[in-house]
Amino acid sequence: MRLRRSSVATCALVTLEALGCGDVVSQPIGFAAGGDGGDGATLHRGSATEAGADAASTLGDAGSQTFCAGRGPIPLPGSSACVGDLSDVFRFAACACKSLDVSGAFSSDSFNSTSDAGPASGDLASIGSNGEISTNSRLTLAGSLWAGGPAPDGGPAVTLGGGVSAGGTIAHDVHSAADVQVDGKYLVGGSVWANGNVTLGPGGSLAVLGTLTVPTGDFTAGVQATVVNSPVASTAPCSCAAPVDIAAVVAAYASGSDDSLIGLATNESLTGAVALPCGRYYVAGIDGDTVALQVDGRVALFVAGDIAVTQDLSIELAPGAELDLFVAGSVSIMGGFEIGNADSPSRTRMYVGGATLALSANASPLAANIYAPNAVLELASDLEMWGSIFADHVQLSGDFAIHYDTSVLQVAAASGCARAAGPCQSCNDCSGATPACKTGTCAPCTTTADCCAPLGCDSSGRCVLEIP
């Protein structure tokens, strides 16, 4: 079956100012149900006829019709929140719950794929870790660096390494919850806050254009900076305390999906060539030698098991399409892969619940926002990525470049879904017009310190990505 492609206004993950999926003006996605080439075992394998039916006559319920008009939210089980409310996990270009270690060259920059005027700023691509961050080669960071704790052996929270042959620049600030060790030649365009010593190794140098704040008595000899002695608060920048239960989200869609409308059985896996029109689908897994997913509208795909592809995986989005892909298990792609659209990576979001995120480096492109809070991401080869990555541990051995699409945090206010206001334990529990957690209650922010890193507080009391 061949599907008619129809433009859908993107309902991507929202900012902390907005909740759920936004009200957008668009036409419903049209597709005709039925017909899968006769075998019934796969979804639209070996396409056939042009769709001619209207969404109102083919979608099974009003919820599906609203969803495909770009307005219906994707609720999260057991709460008043929606998938859009998960946007706070994509505040950083790269974030790790335990540590972020880079052996090769690392570079980041940012752009806004939805801006008619082009990128408003290229320096909003920050990186963070609730533990250490270490580099061992060239670093070009178009953003800030946040490290929330020392290395497992008690070593520095931030190591800017590589020796005299390495070095780099950090466009904005460095926030370190413990010592900072500098073994190359580095320039920080903003300020540095270190809750410990800042020391230079042989041949190392550090110039800070702003101020360097360390507690009284800590060592900073040789650093080119205006030094301020003051207590430095420790911050865990990544949202790791209460990770999303991705398996529970997937299980909630075991019934009530749109599978039957396109002849898909919920106990089957997707393999081969698969076309997905607008809808919400639940499958057992995604596996095989080669898998090619064609996303032709607004799609939410829930995978009960693993993604295990022994050769190549491609996920292609039609113009205006978007994908929220939830995988309860792990992801293993042994061959090449093409995921998403480098011109608009915010339209592809992947949520991985398992402990394995194994990717070959043969990617062209990898354009997605990937949330894998239980997984270790290890890359031994060079990789260029568009979007963002969140993992339990990130270990990069080759050269790594990431282009952060800030529009993943910039979508209109919700239609029909909002995170309930009320008690909170941290800013991660708050959003919208009350993004800060003050004395256990969500409230407007007053200063940037009220906001989750790396967001700043604007004049209206909202937490935004732009640095004030």
Q: What is the pLDDT of residue 13?
A: 27
Residue 419: pLDDT band (50, 70, 90) is: low
Contact 135, 104 (CB under 8 A): no
Residue 121: pLDDT band (50, 70, 90) is: low
Q: Which residue has the higher pLDDT, 171 or 365?
A: 171
Q: What is the pLDDT of residue 416?
A: 44
Q: What is the pLDDT of residue 213?
A: 97
Strand 158-160 to 224-229 pairing: unpaired
The length of the chain in residues reads 468
Q: What is the pLDDT of residue 80?
A: 67
**Residue 291 pLDDT more than 80?**
yes
Those residues whose C-beta lies under 8 Å from the C-beta of residue 457, and which sit 6 or more positions away, are 436, 445, 446, 447, 448, 450, 451, 463, 464, 468
* Least confident span in 58-67, 231-240, 449-458: 58-67
Q: What is the pLDDT of residue 434?
A: 85
DSSP 8-state code for residue 263: T
Predicted model pTM: 0.84
Q: What is the pLDDT of residue 62?
A: 55
Q: What is the pLDDT of residue 465?
A: 86
Q: 321: closest CA among 275, 284, 358, 364?
A: 275
Q: Distance between CA atoms of 42 and 19, rounded to whole angstroms? A: 35
DSSP 8-state code for residue 423: B
Domain spans, the chain: 55-88+242-409, 93-229, 427-464
Residue 417: pLDDT band (50, 70, 90) is: low
Angle at 328 between CA 326 and CA 330, to 5 degrees: 100
Those residues whose C-beta lies under 8 Å from the C-beta of residue 400, and which sit 6 or more positions away, are 102, 104, 105, 106, 107, 379, 382, 383, 384, 385
Residue 415: pLDDT band (50, 70, 90) is: very low
C-alpha dihedral sign at 124, 228, 134, 239: negative
Q: 235: closest CA among 16, 465, 452?
A: 452
Structure-block tokens of residue 408 = 């993943």
Beta strand segments in 328-362, E:
331-333, 337-339, 348-352, 356-359
C-alpha dihedral sign at 86, 92, 98, 104: positive
**Residue 40 pLDDT more than 50?**
no
Structure-block tokens of residue 180 = 């900072």
Beta strand segments in 57-203, E:
94-102, 106-111, 127-129, 132-135, 139-141, 145-147, 158-160, 167-170, 174-176, 180-182, 185-188, 192-194, 198-200
Residue 421: pLDDT band (50, 70, 90) is: low
Q: 455: closest CA among 237, 151, 240, 226?
A: 237
Chain segment 10-37, per-residue pLDDT in tens: 333 222 222 233 322 222 222 222 233 3
Looking at residues 282-310, what average pLDDT do you find?
93
Q: Distance between CA atoms of 263 and 281, rounded to whole angstroms? A: 11
**Residue 5 pLDDT more than 90?**
no
